[in-house]
Amino acid sequence: MTTKRVRHEARRGAWQGVEILRYKAEGSAPFKDITRQILFQDPTLACELRYFEVGASGYSTLERHEHTHAVMILHGRGRCLVGDRVFEVGEHDLVHIPPLTWHQFRAESDAPLGFLCMVNAERDRPQLPTEEDLRALRRDPEVAAFIAT
C-alpha cells in the first residue's frame, strides 16, 4: 500500500482504492454473503489487517487453523463460535481466536456484521471440520443450533 492516507467512504465498509474481494473461491468451503478487503498488507509488516463484511443472515466458514485471529467488530451485530462457546458481539468488541480453535461468525438476521481481523502474514491454511468433528461440536445444543455447514 503506497497510499499514505486512505479515505473511508460514507457507505459502510468501503475505502477508496481498497478492492472488495471474494471471501473465498465459491464451492471451496461453506459460507454465505461475506466479502473480504485487505486494509494493510506490506512487506515491512509481519501481520495483515483485513476487513470482512457479512450480510444480514450471512456467515463465515466454520474452520480452524494453527494461526491466531485477533478480531475487532467494526459495526453491526452478530454472534460467533469460539471453541465450544457462542458469544454475542457488537461494535468494538474484541474476539481472540487461539490456534486450532473452531470458529464461525454469523450476522444477525436484521443487520450486517463488519469486523477487522489481524493475522500473521505467514500462516497455515484453514482446516474444515470432518463428520467426526461436527458430531463432537453438535453435542452442545447451543453450538448445534448455531453452526452452519
135 binds a second copy (CB under 8 A): no
CA distance 133 to 90: 28
Total number of residues binding a second copy (CB under 8 A)? 45
Question: According to DSSP H, which parts of 29-139 are helical?
Answer: 131-137
CB of 112 to a second copy, least distance (A): 15
137 binds a second copy (CB under 8 A): no
Cβ of 110: how many Cβ atoms within 10 Å?
A: 9
20 binds a second copy (CB under 8 A): no
Q: Which of 54, 82, 113, 137 binds a second copy (CB under 8 A)?
A: 82
Q: Are 128 and 29 within 8 A, CB to CB?
A: yes
CA dihedral 53, 132, 136, 70 (to 10 degrees): -30
- What residue type is assigned to position 66 of the chain? E
What is the contact surface with a second copy in residues (CB under 8 A)? Answer: 1-8, 15, 18, 39-40, 42, 44-47, 49, 67-68, 70, 72-74, 80, 82-83, 85, 87, 89-99, 116, 118, 120-122
